[in-house]
Amino acid sequence: ILGQSEREIEVICIDDRTPDGSGAVIDAYAARDSRVKAVHKTVNEGPMMARHTGYTMARGEYVFFCDSDDYLPEGALEALYARAVASDADIVVGNLCTVTPQGRTALRDRASSVGTTWRSYMRYILHWGTPSLCGALFRRSLFVGMAYTAGQHMLVSEDRRLLTEILLLRHPSVAPLDRLVYCYWSNQASTTHRPLTADDVRRQFESL
């Protein structure tokens, strides 16, 4: 992210009380790059709350989400921002790819299907298109003054929940960008791939 050609960015890193030493890593980056803001939570709350903390703190014109183990192709943020300025759209949606530990990649083309309105984007999601927040640029005003759902320890469909609320409550304009802008690392040990337990389901319902 720090190596992107778009330099005027703030990078808000949320340490969700991780036990793996990531907090010290982001502190080190924050010490040598003023664009990095390190946030350390006192208790683990899960990805939905981490994102809520991030977009609440953000001060830029646009918001971009990036998960901890993923990465961006060169020039991704610059291309998304240029498309946002040219189209004046509230959301710019680029293409994603998944990358396996064996080096296999698979492109997920969103640009050809999301359309240019909140209704067409919603239709894309309902027809099994990816609801991932990643690889899209959101106008920050979409988050201002809105009480979107932010449940603790929500492990499944947290992206779908927030994106659906944004589309249905704010009716944003949409601009597709036919370019690869996000690489999703397919980690079989991540919470996304771990089978849900009864405790997971209970906690998810209690958080809403």
pLDDT in tens, 113-148: 999 999 999 999 999 999 999 999 999 999 999 999
Interval 158-174 mean pLDDT: 97
pLDDT of amino acid 157? 83
Pairing between β-strand 174-185 and β-strand 105-108 as defined by DSSP bridges: unpaired
pLDDT at residue 199 tops 80: no
pTM for this entry: 0.89
Beta strand residue intervals within 31-127, DSSP E: 36-40, 62-64, 91-99, 105-108
| Cα 111 from Cα 96, distance rounded (Å) | 10
pLDDT at residue 193 tops 90: no
pLDDT at residue 195 tops 80: no
Q: Which helix (H) or strand (E) is 184 found in, with range?
A: strand 174-185
Helices and strands per DSSP (H, E), number in the chain = 6, 7
pLDDT in tens, 27-49: 999 999 999 999 999 999 999 99
Q: Within 13 A of 111's CA, how many CA atoms are on the CB side?
A: 16
pLDDT at residue 85 tops 70: yes
